[in-house]
């Protein structure tokens, strides 16, 4: 399993670099649009491996995030709640309940990456406090690019942040908080530090991809929002793991 995880991370990293150029600079040809689905599934699978490691007694949460996010998105598409009124424009492949199944993989990526990044801060309840905020932070980069630049989905209502309704971010926070509460109930110290470290990188890579794409398209505010993730990473030292390694050295 460890060998497969390392190979998956290598594959994803290579895919990310290629996508950074093709997607970031709008060079992706129409016949290669399927590459977006591969990116989402690869990142979602790697995040799932991390969740599998830190939730040994709560691994059911992985399918809950995958299918639960699809159900919530389906409700959103058909009712306008909790995210607002929108519709998908691009073909992301197979759909379930009117929602591309890649959305489930995307939510796994967001939750896994946000959970890992929250561990750079070592304080009590950091999962409940930070993970929903970090998920919204990612959406502040994802949504403007996906809706305004790539037209993956279109919003029917306006908002102050790049014409995205504020309700969307409230809905994202509520959804991520629900998943975070489940994770906080079952999470344990990870056994593979590499998985946590790489999922922190995944958090940064998502910001880099969407931040670069936004900057090329002239959405400089999004680029600033994403750039802050790199700054936060540089200003922190790994939270829990850093504290534990220091304690071992002292003892």
123 DSSP β-pair partners: none
Structure tokens, 103: 């959305």
- Residues 89-107 pLDDT 10s: 766 678 889 899 999 999 9
CB-based contacts of 98-104 (< 8 A; 24+ apart in sequence): 98/74, 99/70, 99/73, 99/74, 101/70, 102/36, 102/37, 102/40, 102/41, 103/69, 103/70, 103/73, 104/44, 104/65, 104/66, 104/67, 104/69, 104/70
**Under 8 Å CB-to-CB from 34, ≥6 apart: which residues?**
93
| Average pLDDT score over residue span 4-17 | 95
Q: Each residue of 209-251: pLDDT tens digit?
A: 999 999 999 999 999 999 999 999 999 975 544 444 333 333 3
Angle of helix 34-54 relative to helix 102-118, nearest 10 degrees, comes to 50
Confidence (pLDDT) at 89: 76
Average pLDDT value for the chain:
91
Give strand pairing partners of 99: 96
Listed residue (111, 156, 137, 165) closest to 222, CA to CA: 137
Task: Give the mean pLDDT of 73-96.
Answer: 85
pLDDT digit string, tens, across residues 18-68: 999 999 898 888 878 888 889 999 999 999 999 999 999 999 999 999 999
């Amino acid at each position: 399993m460890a060998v497969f995880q390392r190979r998956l991370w290598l594959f994803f990293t290579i895919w990310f670099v290629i996508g950074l150029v093709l997607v970031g600079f709008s060079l992706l040809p129409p016949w290669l649009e399927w590459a977006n689905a591969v990116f989402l599934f690869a990142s979602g699978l790697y995040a799932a491996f991390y969740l599998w490691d830190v939730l040994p007694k709560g691994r059911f949460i992985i399918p809950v995030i995958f299918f639960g996010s699809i159900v919530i998105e389906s409700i959103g598409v058909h009712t306008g709640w909790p995210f607002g009124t929108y519709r998908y424009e691009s073909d992301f492949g197979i759909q379930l309940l009117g929602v591309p199944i890649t959305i489930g993989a995307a939510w796994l990526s967001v939750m896994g990456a946000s959970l890992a990044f929250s561990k750079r801060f070592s304080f009590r309840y950091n999962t409940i406090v930070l993970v929903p905020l970090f998920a919204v932070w990612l959406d502040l980069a994802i949504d403007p690019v996906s809706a305004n630049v790539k037209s993956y989905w279109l919003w029917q209502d306006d908002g102050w942040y790049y014409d995205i309704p504020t309700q969307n971010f409230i809905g994202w926070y509520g959804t991520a908080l629900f998943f975070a509460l489940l994770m906080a109930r079952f999470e344990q110290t990870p056994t593979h530090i590499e998985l946590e470290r790489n999922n922190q990188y995944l958090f940064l890579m998502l910001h880099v991809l969407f931040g670069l794409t936004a900057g090329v398209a002239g959405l400089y505010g999004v680029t600033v929002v994403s750039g802050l993730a790199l700054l936060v990473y540089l200003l922190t030292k790994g939270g829990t793991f850093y504290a534990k390694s220091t304690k071992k050295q002292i003892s």
